A and B are shown apart, each in its own frame.
Chain A
Amino acid sequence: MHKLQTEVLVIGGGATGTGVVWDAALRGFKTILVERRDLTHGTTGRFHGLLHSGGRYAVKDPHGAEECIRENQILRKTHAHCIEDTSGFFVVTPEDEGDDYPEKFVAGCNAVGIPCSEIPVAEALRREPLLNPRISRVFEVPDGSADGFLAAHATVNAARVAGAQIMTYHEVDELIVEERSGERHVVGARVHNVVTGEHIVIYADIIVNAAGAWSGKLAAMAGAEVVILPSKGTMVAMNHRLVNTVINRCKMPSDGDILVPSHTVCIIGTTSVTVPNPEPLRIEPWEVQKMLDEGEKIVPGFSKARVLRAWAGVRPLFQETYTGGGRDVTRKLALLDHSQREGIKGFLTITGGKWTTFRLMAEATVDTICEHLGTQRPCTTATTPVPGAEQGNYWVGHRLHDVEEQRLQGDLICECELVTRTMLENAVQRNPALTLDDLRRDVRLGKGPCQGGFCTYRAVGILNEMESAGNWNHDMLDESADTMQWNAAHLQSPAHNLTRDVTAGNGKGHSAESPTVFNPNLLLRDFLQERWKGVTPVLWGRQLKQERLDELIYLSLMNIDHLPDDELASPVTDFYNFDTTPGPFEPEPKKVG
């Protein structure tokens, strides 16, 4: 059995875990991160991409708001290329009138230092022509739109450069707890590579539980209790941007009151439903309907625009001895030192918070790690931009601009999202990828209107070709030196992927070890199933037309329901399978608290 020794072991490859591994590596700790699937597979890959100004929490949760604005200003520097500077409006729609919330909002913003200015409604309508003309007041705050996928890669890339080791597709089976002079110590974790089945023991001086909504389950392995309120939030993406500014309703935070422009789409969210388990998450028809109804109040006509897909994420809300509903739980970060709580040494849980505050959460965590390990090393993440930040903020047209400037029109694999062949190949070679869904997170493959209709079979063909040539890097453990040097910032840029980087492939291939996972038929089926999962809740109108065409391509033309390797499954196949039986339209359940 493979054994590894490290100082810090971080469990969970979402925003929080990637932040911790970055911070710890910068402070010179030997650090390993394990994630049971791809980076951002959990909540980080399913949020609506809002870089909070803090305005949303200004009235109800001043502490959370203060953290947001501080981190907002820091991330704009450290992760500039992962952020689009959209700005944000808080609008008073006719439904929001009649109380003094706007005054409280302004006072709240002022109290915690969120720049907030009221702008004339006419000015707001000039900038956002589709906005409800019946809004009575508009406040502008420094909200932004963030690419959580790219940010995780950029953060991890910075950590790698500082010496950290990142192990995706490694799942924790067990935490190793030892009794030392009457005290319980968590000294390591037994993990296995979900692709090859290989078992690895990682010994660490301290273990950080950054498993988000799954952190209760992980803590239980150490005998610790972490009560997470998994709060499901359903989001709906529209086919194109209806607004270019983040639009919030100026009222107490509630369902469906934020509309975020995110790359080529805009996302409305969310619901907030406490669920017993973080997965599987079922999207109820009332949730989709509610998002459209609420969207209508921000942009009249919203519900008639084309809906792209719907998905749900799960917030890892944490509050001690709390029994109420999800909206009332603080968004403040929660760092649980289990040595103080239960006397379990060497084990920390970091949870709560927001994507916007992931760096701060990491800072607090690694500060505590320093205390535990008896060393003083100052945090430098706030002043150390990750590689790529020098490119500045991205803008929605950047890919089209690259494709046009470099004349890459003939090289497009995913036409909707402008993914070129070399972008795909380099992502596969430089970034461990197991499924097409990983490539979706890396380069936005299949995220556009046709939802994989045309790019899926093309991408599978390319991967099959690369696999045959031994150019597919699916080794999740050994990272070659040039992978470390590689700039994740270029993952999504057609102009930075003009030539295929032949040096990056490890040339080993993988087919001998695990033939089933790299079966092209399986790749094809899993990705189509994954895309289908998000389309089924919104299967009407134009998206239904689209799916009819996709169905003709894959079912009629390619006969994909009868592939030769139909019984094969990858470690993530189960995740994509879901109950497609449409349920009856249940009304929204009454909320408690």
Chain B
Amino acid sequence: MHTESWQSVGPSLDECIKCNICTSYCPVASVTDLFPGPKYAGPQSQRFRENGQPHSPDHSVDYCSGCRVCNEVCPTGVKIAEINARARAHMAAEEGIPLRNRLLGRNELLGKVGSIAPPLANFGLHNQLSRVLADKVFGIAQDSKLPRWPKGGTFGKWVKKTQDQRLKSDKKVVYYHGCGTMYYEPFIGQATVAVLEHNGYEVIVPPQNCCGLPLLSNGEFDEAEKYHDNNVNKLVGYARDGFDIIGTTPSCTLTLKEEAPELLDKHDADSTDLKMAVWDIFEWIRERWEEGDFRTDFRPINMILPYHAPCQYRAHRVGKPALEILQLIPELDVRESCARCCGSAGTYGYKKEKHLIAMAVGKELFDFVAVQGPGVTMTASDTETCRWQIELGTGLPSRHPIEIVAAAYGLYNLESRQLTN
């Protein structure tokens, strides 16, 4: 386990003035008694947790979904979600980690294995019997929405296959696609490359691995540290050479920017240089747009689009840049959800004992979508697990805002999720 230091998150409990604003905003505590709330689990309980105790005194902190709404609303800057994540890691170190959580922590590995033979993997995972077994044996909620491996292969494969067609330019960006895009949703990466190239940028896709967030959420800090170190080694050179590193999954970019360095106490020069170079894609696009360096030759898209800014996106503290950019598209009626959280919170909603909680948390969002009228055909959100959760809760397809932008450029088909050329 990592030890305390003044730079670590523990001492931020000193900032808590017990106002309970976090408790009243917590989307989990408002739907279940199993989680006593962020103030209780975070700064309050932390005073009772110390090194060298006979055992971890509490376990209800396991019901924290890690959505960080508490951090967002805290008026004094307590790193509540991080205190909770550390407490879970302490428990994991003591009590061991269930196989289920080890599996959920390794979506990259699962992605790799499934990509060897996608049809087989899809059949293996998605048939009714497997889901019942996964539920009963591992505790992976039967009704949760698991991703499918795409027929066309991974994003990496597409990049390699199309490398001759890729734009070469003096203006370059580095793309951190993450595991979701790599193994399950390569079309997000394709849309991203299309949008960036449309704006004259050459896209460098360097070797990279999982950001480690699923491991951090499930308390496997030591393993997460290896992932983070690997990413730092692979990417810090680009950061030092002055390249912006942009990502399309806000939870992954948040991990590189903030979560991994804080939770793992990584305050070395390399980690810091990397985190300073990482951008969420729309955070980056908004900068370009404000500089007049982002094309707005959009075709009209005539539809109502309910949009949910994920909690993990809001944790970047950059406002809602995707919303700002989507609003530039003619005739697109973007409606912001203002819901606190979709409920999924990464791997939380996949756990059998937490799935119903996740769905109850998401109800606020699903109801919002429902009242936007029958004409709504799709929703948008930035993080894959949010999109999957929204699809599950609303029955409507959900898209990444970058797909919408690519479509507005005429480069992408929102129905088939394919590039148009």
Query: How distant is B32 from chain A, measured CB to nearest CB, in Å?
Result: 12
**Main secondary structure on chain B at its contact with chain A?**
loop
Which residues 537-561 in A have Cβ within 8 Å of B in the complex? 542, 545-546, 549
Is A129 a contact of B14 with CB atoms below 8 Å?
A: no
CB neighbours of B13 from chain A (8 A): 239-240
* B 36-48 binary contact with A (CB < 8 Å = 1; else 0): 1001100011111
Is B50 a contact of A397 with CB atoms below 8 Å?
A: yes
Stretch in A116-124, A148-156, A398-406 with 4+ CB within 8 Å of B? A398-406
| Of the residues B16, B19, B49, B76, contact of A397 by C-beta under 8 Å | B49
CB neighbours of A546 from chain B (8 A): 17-18
Docked Cα-Cα span, A403 to B4, in Å, equals 25
Stretch in B52-60, B268-276, B389-397 with 4+ CB within 8 Å of A? B52-60
Contact size range, B: 20 to 34
Docked Cα-Cα span, A301 to B5, in Å, equals 10
Number of chain A residues close to chain B: CB under 8 A:
37
Which residues 1-43 in B have Cβ within 8 Å of A in the complex? 3-6, 11, 13-19, 33, 36, 39-40
| Of the residues A130, A399, A545, contact of B48 by C-beta under 8 Å | A399
Docked Cα-Cα span, A398 to B53, in Å, equals 10
B13 (CB) vs chain A CBs: closest residue: A240
Docked Cα-Cα span, A49 to B351, in Å, equals 45
B33 (CB) vs chain A CBs: closest residue: A410
For residue B51, CB closer than 8 A to chain A, the reply is yes
Is B57 a contact of A398 with CB atoms below 8 Å?
A: yes
Docked Cα-Cα span, A264 to B44, in Å, equals 10
Is B57 a contact of A129 with CB atoms below 8 Å?
A: no
Is A397 a contact of B48 with CB atoms below 8 Å?
A: yes
Is A264 a contact of B58 with CB atoms below 8 Å?
A: no
For residue A235, CB closer than 8 A to chain B, the reply is no
For residue A416, CB closer than 8 A to chain B, the reply is yes
* A 394-424 binary contact with B (CB < 8 Å = 1; else 0): 0111111101100001100001101000000
CB neighbours of B19 from chain A (8 A): 549
Q: Which of A239, A265, A410 has the most CB of B within 10 A?
A: A239
| Of the residues B6, B17, B46, B58, contact of A240 by C-beta under 8 Å | B46
* A 235-277 binary contact with B (CB < 8 Å = 1; else 0): 0000111001000000000000000010011000000000000
Docked Cα-Cα span, A37 to B52, in Å, equals 38
CB neighbours of A401 from chain B (8 A): 55, 57-58
Docked Cα-Cα span, A163 to B274, in Å, equals 72
Is B3 a contact of A396 with CB atoms below 8 Å?
A: no
Is B4 a contact of A264 with CB atoms below 8 Å?
A: no
For residue A459, CB closer than 8 A to chain B, the reply is no
Is B17 a contact of A241 with CB atoms below 8 Å?
A: no
| Of the residues B39, B45, B50, B57, contact of A244 by C-beta under 8 Å | B50
Which residues 363-409 in A have Cβ within 8 Å of B in the complex? 395-401, 403-404, 409
CB neighbours of A130 from chain B (8 A): 4-6
Stretch in A334-342, A445-453, A503-511, A576-584 with 4+ CB within 8 Å of B? A445-453
For residue A126, CB closer than 8 A to chain B, the reply is yes
Is B48 a contact of A239 with CB atoms below 8 Å?
A: no
| Of the residues A129, A404, A410, contact of B58 by C-beta under 8 Å | A404
CB neighbours of A415 from chain B (8 A): 18, 39-40, 44
Is B48 a contact of A264 with CB atoms below 8 Å?
A: yes
CB neighbours of A500 from chain B (8 A): none
Task: Knowing that A403-B58, A449-B17 touch, tell me 15 more A-B residue pairs with CB under 8 angstroms.
Answer: A127-B51, A240-B13, A244-B51, A398-B57, A399-B48, A400-B48, A409-B36, A409-B60, A410-B36, A415-B44, A418-B48, A450-B18, A542-B14, A542-B15, A549-B17
23 A-B pairs with CB atoms under 8 Å apart are A129-B5, A129-B51, A239-B14, A240-B14, A240-B47, A241-B47, A241-B50, A306-B14, A395-B53, A396-B48, A397-B50, A397-B58, A398-B57, A400-B48, A404-B59, A409-B33, A409-B40, A410-B33, A415-B40, A416-B44, A542-B15, A542-B76, A549-B17
